Amino acid sequence: MRKVQLECIVFRKTQNNLEFLLLKRISEKGGFWQPVCGGLEKEDNSKLDGAYRELLEETNISKKDIIRVLEEIFTFEINKHYLTGKPIPAIKEYVYGFEVHPETVISIDNNICIEHEEFKWVDFEEALNLLKWENNKQAFERLHSLIVY
């Protein structure tokens, strides 16, 4: 069972606006909006390395697209299955912020695990309204406070 989960909040600045990338999971996997998320794999040299891998797999964002990284801005534990709500062994989730160039092209079609059906860039308030999980909302609030204030 996976013990470490990575959450990657992608954001960009465009014409004095701050936008966040959200992905919509396919209905079989909950049908909810979320940031890039995935587990730390054995081949990852570090949590950050795993976060870069997840970004590339789920959105086609590569290191060249990234302006800056805010490492481990928030952590929390997951102890319920995201679909069934049944108890599971605790998984620690580490949250990273990734600022990308405004013109970065997003593609969810290359992911070998078909997880997402849609993506969109949203402002901070819309992100909070669309996110399902309170822990994700808290992570967004933490990142927002770091990049705005």
**CB distance 54 to 6 below 8 Å:** yes
Ordered by start, the domain boundaries in the chain are 4-148
CATH (one of 3.90.79.10, 3.20.20.100, 3.30.830.10, 3.40.50.720) for 4-148: 3.90.79.10
Would you give the DSSP letter of residue 131? Answer: B
Which tokens hold the place of 144?
């927002």
Helices (H), 1-149: 47-59, 124-130, 134-148
pTM of the model: 0.93
Beta strands in 27-86 (DSSP E): 33-34, 36-39, 66-80
Burial class (CB in 10 A: 0-12, 13-18, 19+), 27: exposed
Strands 87-100 and 4-14, sheet pairing: parallel
Contact 54, 8 (CB under 8 A): yes
Place of tokens 């070998």: 112
pLDDT in tens, 59-99: 999 999 999 999 999 999 988 877 777 888 889 999 999 99
> What pLDDT digit, counting tens, does each position of 10-58 carry?
999 988 899 999 999 999 888 999 999 999 999 999 999 999 999 999 9
